[in-house]
């Protein structure tokens, strides 16, 4: 029994370490576990992460900069009457104090329009998240299956 507990504690430490490695903070903004999916050069890629506004004032994610794509848009996929569609959030993503938003397949996502090169598993896409407050948070999107990969929930047929 004791050995089992030690094993569980070690696992918990390992998982905590992994999560911490992929946490980025600047002022009140915290971004965790960014990731992206493999995609061919010239096509559109996607970026996923969780963003939390831990500050006392509202803020807005207004833009994302990367040299890996021609431009980046903030999108939201939604289902209306059984039809899936995407909206571009031209005003950015507003975050109230304490608000947390997860970008994930089938919901909010960054759309990396016109990849300048192919992205494959193991690659890292550097990007800067730009906020209305002036905060510029540099993050890296590892390319792979993502932290919560669920086979069968793949949205690859939507090309992002
Ligand atoms: Cu999109």
Instruction: Give the model's pLDDT for residue 51.
Output: 98
User: How remote is the CA of residue 52 from the centroid of ligand 1, in Å?
Assistant: 21
Residue 8, domain member (yes or no):
no
User: How remote is the CA of residue 106 from the centroid of ligand 1, in Å?
Assistant: 9
Instruction: Give the model's pLDDT for residue 146.
Output: 83
Instruction: Give the model's pLDDT for residue 72.
Output: 98
Which CATH number covers residue 89? 2.60.40.1890
Confidence band, pLDDT 50/70/90 cuts, at residue 147:
confident
Q: What is the pTM of this model?
A: 0.80
User: How remote is the CA of residue 3 from the centroid of ligand 1, in Å?
Assistant: 47
Percent of the chain with pLDDT over 90: 74
Confidence band, pLDDT 50/70/90 cuts, at residue 149:
low
Beta pairing class for 93-95 and 59-65? antiparallel
User: How remote is the CA of residue 74 from the centroid of ligand 1, in Å?
Assistant: 7
User: How remote is the CA of residue 46 from the centroid of ligand 1, in Å?
Assistant: 7
Residue 157, domain member (yes or no):
no
Domain holding 31, by residue range, is 23-147
For the chain, the DSSP string reads -HHHHHHHHHHHHHHHHHHHHTEEEETTEEEEEEEE--B-TTS-EEEEEEEEE-SSS-EEEEEEE-SSEEEEEEEEEEEETTEEEEEE-TT-EEE-TT-EEEE-TTSEEEEEEEESS-B-TT-EEEEEEEETTS-EEEEEEEBSS-TT--TT---GGGT-
Instruction: Give the model's pLDDT for residue 20.
Output: 45
Q: Which residue would you say has higher pLDDT here, 128 or 21? A: 128
pLDDT digits (tens, 9 = 90+) for 120-144: 999 999 999 999 999 999 999 999 9
Residue 7, domain member (yes or no):
no
Residue 11, domain member (yes or no):
no
User: How remote is the CA of residue 7 from the centroid of ligand 1, in Å?
Assistant: 41
Residue 155, domain member (yes or no):
no
Q: Which of 86, 88, 80, 81 is nearest to 106 (CA)?
A: 86
Residue 159, domain member (yes or no):
no
Residue 54, domain member (yes or no):
yes
Q: What value does the mean pLDDT of the chain take?
A: 86
In the chain, the number of structural domains is 1
User: How remote is the CA of residue 111 from the centroid of ligand 1, in Å?
Assistant: 5
């Amino acid at each position: 029994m004791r050995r089992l507990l030690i094993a569980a504690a070690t696992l918990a430490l390992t998982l905590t370490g992994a999560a911490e490695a992929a946490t980025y903070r600047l002022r009140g903004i915290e971004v965790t576990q960014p990731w992206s999916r493999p995609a061919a050069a010239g096509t559109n890629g996607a970026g996923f992460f969780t963003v939390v506004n831990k500050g006392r004032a509202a803020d807005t994610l207004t833009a994302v900069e990367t040299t890996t794509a021609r431009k980046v848009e903030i999108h939201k996929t939604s289902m209306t009457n059984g039809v899936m569609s995407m909206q571009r959030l031209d005003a950015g993503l507003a975050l109230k104090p304490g608000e947390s938003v997860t970008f994930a397949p089938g919901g909010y996502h960054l759309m990396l329009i016109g990849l300048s090169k192919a992205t494959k598993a193991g690659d890292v896409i550097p990007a800067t998240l730009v906020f209305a407050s002036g905060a510029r948070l540099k993050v890296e999107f590892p390319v792979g299956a993502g932290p919560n990969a669920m086979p069968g929930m793949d949205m690859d047929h939507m090309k992002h």
